[in-house]
Amino acid sequence: MRVVEIMDGAGPAESLVLAERADPVAGPGQIRIRVRAAGINRPDILQRLGRYPAPPGASDILGLEVAGEIDQIGPDVTAWSVGDRVCALLGGGGYAGFAVVDARHALSVPADMDFVQAAALPETVCTVFANVFESGALKAGETLLVHGATSGIGVTAIQMARAAGARVIATSRGSAKAEAARGLGADLSLDASVDDMAAAIRTFGGADVVLDMVGADYAALNQAALNPFGRWVVIATQSGAAAEVNLAGLMMKRITLTGSTLRARPADEKARLIAAVQATAWPWVISGAVRPPVEATFPLEQASTAHLRLEAGGHVGKIVLTT
């Protein structure tokens, strides 16, 4: 099968090259997917740079989410059949012609959805659900503040929060991105390059949950923005991991500060999460309420160009590879 490899194990986008490997075989409890599309995520870039190695037992090939048809069923799998259209959450291996995955980590692709759109869902929907709805406990009538609102995670968070009956404050850089976030359903969309975000958020009524992908630079803003009993959930630290936090302020507001990663979770925990997504969030996908935009698609052999596009930061939504 065709795969994308990283020359010398790590490097710039130009180090991504097309190669050939043997087709993987579905083992016990696994399915093999004929990959039609694979979502690109920022952790892929970190892995390519040598800063986010694959967890033990995972494929060294990039790619954390795919969509396609099941073409092989491993022993002990009863929930799926050959030919089923699925998307799946992977620990790695998505930038390839075939991917094997724990059968419990797959979701059915809605009948009216193509594989490109489906490949943009598993990593982002699971990340948002685990952090905004489980750790952050966002409820109908509350307000979510999401930074990096036009990223793949950001656009998904806007749509999922609105589907759950919550209000959304979005922050992004540039008027075009702010307008895009507003068009996706943000009740208040702020341009971080010009707006007084603290004042605007305070006037809006503050936030009950913050989904933070920025890190250090927004620590003071997040703490000021949160209402009493607010939940501050960190999932990335693009501006730095070391932040100054006023612990007395956290205590006075009874704020919960938490964070998580998804890729390295045990298989059973991922299966639990997928089941929760299936029960609660997947109906929003099926109804069309959650359909994050796809900014661009690239064929597998142009993976380096796709990475450059993501690194440039001008996109709204997801970037997807097709095979």
Angle at 111 between CA 109 and CA 113, to 5 degrees: 65
Share of the chain above pLDDT 70, in %: 100
> Are the CB atoms for 172 and 149 separated by under 8 Å?
yes
Name the average pLDDT for the chain: 96
What is the distance, to the nearest Å, from the Cα of residue 174 to the centroid of all Cα atoms in its chain?
A: 22
d(C-alpha 165, C-alpha 72), whole Å? 40
Give the per-residue pLDDT at 16: 97
Give the per-residue pLDDT at 316: 95
Rg of the chain, C-alpha, whole Å: 19
Give the per-residue pLDDT at 240: 84
> Are the CB atoms for 225 and 210 separated by under 8 Å?
yes
Give the per-residue pLDDT at 239: 81
Give the per-residue pLDDT at 241: 85
**Nearest one of 51, 48, 42, 4 to 298, comparing CA atoms:** 4
**Residue 174's pLDDT band (cuts 50, 70, 90):** very high
Give the per-residue pLDDT at 79: 94
> Are the CB atoms for 156 and 124 separated by under 8 Å?
yes
Residues 103-143 have pLDDT tens digits of 999 999 999 999 999 999 999 999 999 999 999 999 999 99
Domains of the chain: 2-121+292-322 (3.90.180.10), 125-259 (3.40.50.720)
Query: Angle, nearest 10°, between helix axes 175-183 and 152-163?
Result: 30
Residue 4, φ and ψ in degrees, nearest 5? -105, 125
> Are the CB atoms for 43 and 153 separated by under 8 Å?
no
Residues 6+ apart with CB under 8 A from 260: 130, 131, 135, 233, 235
> Can you list the pairs that 244-250 forms with residues at least 24 positions away whose Cβ atoms lie under 8 Å?
244/219, 244/220, 245/219, 246/220, 249/223, 250/223
Higher-confidence residue of 126 and 56: namely 126
Residues 200-239 have pLDDT tens digits of 999 999 999 999 998 888 999 999 999 999 999 999 888 8
Dihedral of the CA atoms 305, 307, 312, 314 (nearest 10)? 90
**pTM for the predicted model, two decimal places:** 0.95
Residues 263-297 have pLDDT tens digits of 989 999 999 999 999 999 999 999 999 999 999 99
**Nearest one of 50, 72, 71, 70 to 60, comparing CA atoms:** 50
Lowest mean pLDDT among 23-37, 49-63, 80-94, 158-172: 49-63
Give the per-residue pLDDT at 121: 98
**Residue 87's pLDDT band (cuts 50, 70, 90):** very high
Place of tokens 């993976």: 303
d(C-alpha 60, C-alpha 110), whole Å? 30
Q: 320 is written with which tokens?
A: 């997807």
Side by side, which strands form the sheet with 207-212? Answer: 188-191, 167-172, 143-147, 207-212, 226-234, 256-259
Give the per-residue pLDDT at 245: 87
d(C-alpha 284, C-alpha 268), whole Å? 24
Q: What is the widest separation between alpha-carbon atoms in the chain?
A: 58
> Are the CB atoms for 278 and 106 separated by under 8 Å?
no
